[in-house]
Chain A
Amino acid sequence: MKATVWAGRNSVEVREVPDPSILSRRDAIVRITSTAICGSDLHLVDGYIPTMQNGDVMGHEFMGEVVEVGPGVPPDRLRPGDRVVVPFPIACGACAACASELYSCCENSNPNAGIAEKMFGHPVAGIFGYSHLTGGFAGGQAQYARVPFADVGPLKITSDLSDEQVLFLSDILPTGYMGAEMCDIQPSDVVAVWGAGPVGQFAMDSARALGAAAVIAIDKEPYRLRMAAEAGHIPVDFTEVDVRSQLLELTGGRGPDKCIDAVGMEAVHGASHIHAYDRLKQAARLETDRPHALRQAILSCRSGGIVSVIGVYGGFIDKFPAGAWMNRALTLRTGQCHVHRYMQPLLERIERGELDPTRIITHRLSLDEAPHGYDIFKNKQDDCEKVVLTP
């Protein structure tokens, strides 16, 4: 089959690889009908997540048709012919983490848990197409994928919703939603979201759906801010204004009640000398992540507020504003998304028309064009917001 593979830093190729087959009793094989490129994939391409190997199949946002199931998958749960969306974290459904619905912390789905434990103190779940640290699972930017614990993860789609309407249930819609949910939104809340990428856009929509009074979008790409504004959010360009002053201005001096970091470890800084400081430390491996958005969110949030972090961090950061966080009684919440928790309720919201995931799709390409898709998504060319690939 054809698959998008990691071919070294800054290099993605479409290659011919073997077709997947059943390796474990609870596996399913899915013929992929739609798959997407994510901001998380950029961290891999840019070389910030260790343990990638040449030839690793990329991609963790995919859906398709079940073509084969292992003997451990009950037929009333899943059978060939079913149309499914696959959640990006791989979860066993049986461990203590899964029992607490902390699916992205599943204790059994990562064969390389020992390495993850060394880096993070405790292991994390397996993730499709996301380095060997999270298991070394082949991803879904391909024609087929092997889905472990297929009796637990995949969501069956029985209605006639299109692929584009449901594909993002695999990751970014639940992720944006979880970012907003972690904010405990009250009707009087002003919510500020750093990052108007796909995840940020869905965090904004979710914050509104959960009842926020107003939602502010912070980014530097005019077309992404325009997209947020068209959806009814208030745009702030961090290269044109001082973000903290602008947020005070927009909230009568209070600061946003809740702040969401939907940027993560590759944030850029409005002031180039500060960006250079962190970029240099990152290059020298003195810090692994550039936490500009996180720092700014903590400093901007009103006292007693919540800072919800869904942007991905991989290692260590420098100059964490612990004083602001501690003295002003802020709550920090975070996590890789526990996608399984949100798929069904969000599918219902899509069916009721409360959320429209298709609004962020700007590019529809064939799998062969994946390298071009990565290029325009990463470099913010051609007003690219989200690329959907059709194998």
Chain B
Amino acid sequence: MEVTGTTTIRRPVSEVFAFWRRLENLSMFMEQLDDVRTTGERTSHWRSSAPFGRNVEWDAEITEDVTGERLGWRSSAGAELPNAGVVIFAPAPDGISTEIHVAMEYDIPGGEAGKAIAKFFGDEPSQQLDDDLRRLKQLLETGEIVRSDGAPWGKRAREEFPQRPAQPLTPEERKEVLGS
């Protein structure tokens, strides 16, 4: 399954590229990722749990790394959810912003795991990536992922619709949402 997405971020290419290249940052805005850990110059370890209902982990390696232009990666052999991705970074016509174009490829396995993954992506697999990119834009342009009273979850926004009412959170709800 291939999903593509694109957005324009009003920050310079160098900054947007550097943010993405630090793979640890990906879990800040990608809903399905719990964390990414750099394990070598071109290798990293990725962990995902919540959306799939259980832990899925894999190693990945960088396949392309052209500073300020292109970044590609691929899961290593034997990954339970084989996947690959490429991001192209380009200056936008306004001379200020950066266009990013993302393409990701998932090789959805059979069995229970495959079913959970297919369910997560739903009828509109690109919606997931669109939402991830929207959060990336919020992070880079405003410093945070936007929260409202009805949708206070930050990067876990989508799974909760219809939402809680648009009224302030109780102290307990706030604690749960902010994790502190």
Chain A residues with CB under 8 Å of chain B are 1, 3, 5, 17-21, 23-26, 53-57, 72, 92, 94-96, 99, 107-115, 126, 129, 132, 135-139, 144, 146, 148-149
Contact = CB atoms under 8 A, between A and B. Distances in A.
Contacts of A96: 8, 10, 94, 97
19 contacts: A3-B167, A5-B167, A24-B146, A56-B166, A57-B166, A94-B10, A94-B141, A94-B142, A95-B137, A96-B8, A96-B10, A110-B146, A112-B161, A132-B150, A132-B162, A132-B166, A135-B150, A136-B148, A148-B146
Interface in B120-162: 127, 130-131, 134, 137-138, 141-152, 157-158, 161-162
B142 A55 contact: no
* Majority secondary structure, A binding face: loop
B163 A114 contact: no
Nearest to A5: B167
Interface residues of B, number: 37
B50 to A, nearest CB: 18
A95 B141 contact: yes
Contacts of B167: 3, 5, 17-18, 55-57, 138
A61 B166 CA distance: 16
Contacts of B162: 53, 132
B147 A108 contact: no
Interface of B: 8, 10, 94, 97, 127, 130-131, 134, 137-138, 141-152, 157-158, 161-163, 165-171, 174, 177-178
Given A135-B148, A138-B167, A23 B178 contact: yes
Contact of A132 (B130, B151, B171, B174): B151
A21 B174 contact: yes
A53 B165 CA distance: 6
B166 A138 contact: yes
A20 B166 CA distance: 11
A155 B43 CA distance: 50
A2 to B, nearest CB: 12
A111 B146 contact: yes
A20 B148 CA distance: 11
Given A56-B165, A96-B10, A137-B166, A24 B144 contact: yes
A56 B8 contact: no
Nearest to A128: B166
B20 to A, nearest CB: 18
A137 B150 contact: yes
